[in-house]
Copies of this chain bind each other. A is one copy, B any other.
Amino acid sequence: MDIHEYQAKERFALAGIPVPPGRIATTADEAEAIANEYGCAVMVKAQVHSGGRGKAGGVKYCNDASEAREHASNILGMDINGLTVEKVLVTPAEDIETEAYVGVLIDRKNQAATFMVSPDGGMDIEEVAASTPDRIRKLSVDPRYGLLPHQALWLANFLYDDPALIKQASKVVAQLYDSFVNSGASMTEINPLITTPDGEVKAIDAKMTIDGNELFRRPDVAGMRDLAAEPASETKAREAGLSYVKLDGNVGCCVNGAGLAMATMDLVKYYGGEPANFLDIGGSSNPDKVVSALEIITSDPNVKAILFNIFGGITRCDDVANGIVEATKRIDIEPPIVIRLTGTNEDLGLQILEEAGFSAYTSMDDVVEKAVELAKG
C-alpha cells in the first residue's frame, strides 16, 4: 500500500526525523490561506501515488501566497500518470545547500531490510545506481541485531565530511530504520535529504510503501489508505478479497491463481489482444466472489469480452461451474463470456456450463483465442 508524501512525513516525524512543517490543501483557497500563515516562500506539492511529480509539473515553488493559490489551482485536478491530484501539500520552501539520498527496502537476496544511500540526492536512485554505482553505499540490516550504531555511522560517513552533519545524518539513518520497521514498510526513501546553509539536515521529500501483510496489526498505518487515490474498482476488489489490477485493454480476465492470471494476460497479448485487467479470484467456488469479480470487470467500459480461466485443483470443476452459473444469473452482463475449465471433475463442470449456455473450453489457448476474437468484435 502506497501512502502520500505528507503521510510518510508524519511517520518520519513520529520517529524523530526532522521534516519541515506542512499542511494539506484540497482547494486553491486553502493553499493560499496556508501559505499566508507561513508568511514565506512555499512549495506546493501534488499528493499522488506516483513518481515523476516534478516532471509532470506537480511540484512548484511559490514566492508568496498568491503564487501558491495560482499553482495549487493548476495542480489540483491535474492528471499525473493516470492519477488525478486531489490534494496538495503546502510547506515552507527550504534553503538547500546539498541533496543526498537515503532509502530502505526489502532486499530479496540478503533477505533483509537494506539501506541504499548516496551523496547524489534529488535524482532517480536507479539512474545513480546505473551510471555511477560507486556513488551508492549499501547495507543490509541483520534482522537479529537491527541497525547497529556503527552501521548508521558508516552510512552517514558516506554522505558528508563534516562531523556535525555526519552526526545528524547517522541519527536520521537510525530513525529511518525505526520508522521503516514500526510502519511495517516494504520501502521508504528520503530524496532529497538536504543540508541547509546553517548546517541542518532535513528530509524534504518522503516516500513510503507499506507491506499490506502488516496492516492487520497496524491500524494507525492502515488508516492512512487514501481511497480517493486509487480506482474505485481496486477498492472494491480489495474489499471483496480479490487481487485486481486495472489495465488498458479490452479482454476482461477472471482467473484463479496469480501466476495463471499473469500467464492468461500474456496469452491474450500473444494472440493479438490486450488484457483489460489482472484478476485473481483465488481458489474459491463461492458465487459471491464471482459476482464481485464480474461487477468489477464490467465496470470498465473498455471491456468487450470476458474470459474465465479456471483450473480446478483441490476445488472440483463442477463446484466452480455451479458458482459461475449462479453468479451470472444474479447480474446482467453485456459482453460475451467464454469459460475455460479444466482439472478435477472437468467433464461434469463443462456439462453444467454448456447447459447454462456458456461457451466452455478445456484448452487455455482455445479460450484465449476466442476471447480475443470476440473483443475485436
Residues on A close to B: CB < 8 A?
Answer: 144-145
Contacts and interface: CB of A to CB of B under 8 A. Distances in A.
Nearest to A144: B144
A145 B144 CA distance: 6
A280 B246 CA distance: 76
Nearest to A145: B144
Contacts of A145: 144
A145 B145 CA distance: 8
2 contacts: A144-B144, A144-B145
A112 to B, nearest CB: 13
Number of copies: 2
A34 B372 CA distance: 84
Nearest to A146: B144
Contacts of A144: 144-145
A144 B145 CA distance: 6
A292 to B, nearest CB: 35
A113 to B, nearest CB: 16
A151 B145 CA distance: 19
A328 B128 CA distance: 71
Nearest to A142: B144
A166 to B, nearest CB: 23
A145 to B, nearest CB: 6
A145 B142 CA distance: 11
A319 B144 CA distance: 49
